[in-house]
């Protein structure tokens, strides 16, 4: 790559280290400021947020309980904080892009745009799939597994379980997007994904066992969507495979 080509591909001229640090500080402050504002708003609406969190399990166990005086207070703080992160996720990603983007080449920027556009919708889709589809089945199965036992759930344990499930499903729904990016930069091929499918199945169910509570039912509820997402990733990789550049005629001497 020539110097002229490199200069044309970059948007901004080189910046001194102090300017980079000032820019980084500004982006961090914007992200923290947005997160703080979202947290205050979420704290104001923490009661409806907690009602939304408790809705899947209350028909089976009634009211959730607590065993320490501070548990209700810190539970509302935790729910508000994660709600703020969820809402400000696009802002945080945009601040990262605003800091990193000017230093990237045009080709690298084209590779990053799908991530910027689709990462949050895919994360929301994964979390929604968990909350509306997977979680009700998991709660019903686990609560009714042994009907001789009376459920008595602590709110802090239940909230941690719910947030972990929702965030895990949100992250695993990013798998096709990761496949797209890795394929476009040449680190992944559909042939490699197809060839290693059997190993992927083992890794998927091991990951499901690690990321979910220690029962086979919830592991299957995560493992099956992961398998489907893996197959979708194979298709995405096949479609996103970079085309081989046409051979240019040699320059005349």
Are 16 and 50 contacting, i.e. CB atoms less than 8 angstroms apart? no
**9-20 residue pLDDT tens:** 545 556 677 887
Distance of CA 18 to the CA centre of its chain: 32
How is the chain split into domains, by residue range?
A: 3-173
* Under 8 Å between Cβ of 221 and 137: yes
**Count of all residues that appear for the chain in the document:** 253
Cβ neighbours of 186 (radius 10 Å)? 9
| Confidence at residue 252, expressed as pLDDT on a 0 to 100 scale | 46
Segment of 37-41, 96-100, 119-123, 224-228 carrying the highest mean pLDDT = 37-41
Query: What is the residue-averaged pLDDT of the chain?
Result: 81
Alpha-carbon gap, residue 53 to 159, rounded angstroms:
7
Consecutive H or E run containing 70? none
Summarize pLDDT for 173-228 with one digit per residue, the tens: 888 888 888 887 777 888 888 888 888 888 888 877 777 666 677 778 778 888 88
pTM as predicted: 0.74
Q: How many CB atoms lie within 10 A of CB 209?
A: 16
């Amino acid at each position: 790559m020539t110097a002229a080509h490199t200069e044309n591909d970059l948007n901004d001229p080189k910046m001194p280290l102090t300017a980079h640090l000032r820019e980084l500080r500004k982006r961090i402050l914007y992200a923290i400021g947005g997160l703080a504002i979202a947290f205050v708003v979420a704290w104001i609406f923490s009661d409806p947020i907690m009602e939304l969190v408790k809705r899947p399990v209350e028909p089976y166990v009634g009211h959730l309980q607590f065993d320490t005086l501070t548990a209700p207070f810190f539970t509302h703080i935790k729910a508000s904080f994660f709600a703020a992160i969820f809402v400000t996720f696009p802002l945080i990603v945009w601040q990262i892009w605003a800091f990193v983007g000017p230093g990237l080449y045009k080709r690298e920027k084209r590779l990053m745009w799908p991530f910027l556009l689709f990462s949050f919708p895919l994360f929301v889709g994964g979390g929604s799939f968990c909350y509306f589809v997977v979680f009700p089945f998991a709660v019903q199965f686990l609560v009714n597994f042994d009907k001789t036992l009376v459920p008595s759930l602590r709110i802090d344990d239940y909230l941690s379980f719910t947030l972990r499930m929702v965030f895990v499903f949100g992250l695993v729904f990013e798998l096709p997007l990761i496949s797209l990016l890795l394929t476009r930069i040449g680190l992944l091929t559909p042939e490699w994904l197809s060839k290693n499918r059997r190993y992927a199945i083992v890794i998927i169910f091991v990951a499901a066992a690690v990321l979910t509570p220690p029962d086979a039912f919830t592991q299957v509820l995560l493992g099956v969507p992961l398998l489907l997402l893996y197959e979708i990733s194979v298709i995405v990789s096949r479609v996103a495979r970079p085309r081989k550049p046409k051979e240019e005629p040699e320059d005349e001497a």
